């Protein structure tokens, strides 16, 4: 079973601060996806990373896939209250996808 | 923008009853999935489905669960005899190709009393 560990589990910061959350595994993934989930709703895809070392930017969000394709990070610059939510990473296996437990981010105004 | 839809949004049932959760995947997608999320816990993979058969299933997906694509648009999850511990959000997802990014529906909240 491929396990994904996300850290930190909870993060509370002030508006304008930068932050990084991590997704780590001992397994290699063919791709890794980051989702954001609001309470009572389904995960919403943010980005997919496929190539080791790949960096993708989505406005103030920067996603990086580790060279060995075992880990990933999400960096948010100048966080805003609207960034508050649960950030999930998920790694693609053979015919399934395994999720981490998520990082719950709170950005205070 | 195409999206995955799920019905009902909330289902309440008595323990031991059968429930069918319905999903309409994105129309040109070929791979379909069911996940569940118990309140406060992580999203857990249940089953993937391609070409009218199960591709992979997790240890959660026991004989009480079944999936079906009864027509060209719907994808269903059936729980034969619900247990209290089946209470959870159930998410359907679909993807265009193997290991491609998956798009999730809004979920069905199942409550077993």
Identify the residue with better confidence: B32 or A97: B32
**Which residues of chain B from 15 to 54 reach within 8 Å of chain A, CB to CB?**
31, 33, 35, 41-45, 48, 50
User: Does residue B101 have a pLDDT over 70?
Assistant: yes
Looking from the CA of A76 toward its CB, the CA atoms found within 13 Å total 25
Is residue A5 within 8 angstroms of chain B, CB to CB?
no
Q: What is the C-alpha separation between B13 and B64, in angstroms, rounded?
A: 15
Q: Does pLDDT of A107 surpass 90? A: yes
Return phi, psi of residue A96, to 5°: -140, -175
Average pLDDT over residues A47-73: 94
State the DSSP string of B18-47: -EEEEEE--TT--EEEEEEE-TTS--EEEE
**Averaged pLDDT of chain B:** 93
Amino acid A1: pLDDT: 54
In this prediction, residue B19 carries a pLDDT of 98
Q: Which residue of B has its CA nearest to A99?
A: B43
To the nearest whole Å, the CA of A28 is away from the closest chain B CA by: 14
**Hey, which residues does B31 pair with through a beta bridge?**
B50, B95
Cβ B21 vs Cβ B6: under 8 Å: yes
Residues in B closer than 8 angstroms to A31, CB to CB, are 99, 101
Question: Can you give the pLDDT at residue B40?
Answer: 86
| A-proximal residues of B, 75-104, CB under 8 Å | 89, 91, 93, 98-104
Residue A55: how many CB atoms within 10 A of its CB? 12
Q: What is the mean pLDDT of residues A31-58?
A: 92
């Amino acid at each position: 079973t491929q396990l994904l560990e996300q850290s930190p589990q909870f993060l509370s910061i002030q508006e304008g601060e930068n932050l990084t959350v991590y997704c780590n595994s001992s397994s290699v993934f063919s791709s890794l996806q980051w989702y954001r989930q609001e309470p009572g709703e389904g995960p919403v895809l943010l980005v997919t990373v496929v190539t080791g070392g790949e960096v993708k930017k989505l406005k103030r969000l920067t996603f990086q896939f580790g060279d060995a394709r075992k880990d990933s990070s999400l960096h948010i610059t100048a966080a805003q209250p609207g960034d508050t939510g649960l950030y999930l990473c998920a790694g693609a296996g053979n015919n399934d996808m395994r999720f981490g437990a998520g990082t719950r981010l709170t950005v205070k105004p | 923008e195409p999206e995955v839809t799920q019905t009902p949004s909330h289902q309440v049932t008595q323990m031991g009853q059968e429930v069918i959760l319905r999903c309409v995947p994105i129309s040109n997608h070929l791979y379909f999935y069911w996940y569940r999320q118990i309140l406060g816990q992580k999203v857990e993979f249940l089953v993937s489905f391609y070409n009218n058969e199960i591709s992979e299933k997790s240890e959660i997906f026991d004989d009480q669960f079944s999936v079906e694509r009864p027509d060209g648009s719907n994808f269903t999850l059936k729980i034969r005899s619900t247990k209290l511990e089946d209470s959870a959000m159930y998410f359907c997802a679909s993807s265009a190709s193997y290991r491609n990014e998956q798009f999730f529906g809004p979920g069905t909240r199942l409550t077993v009393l």
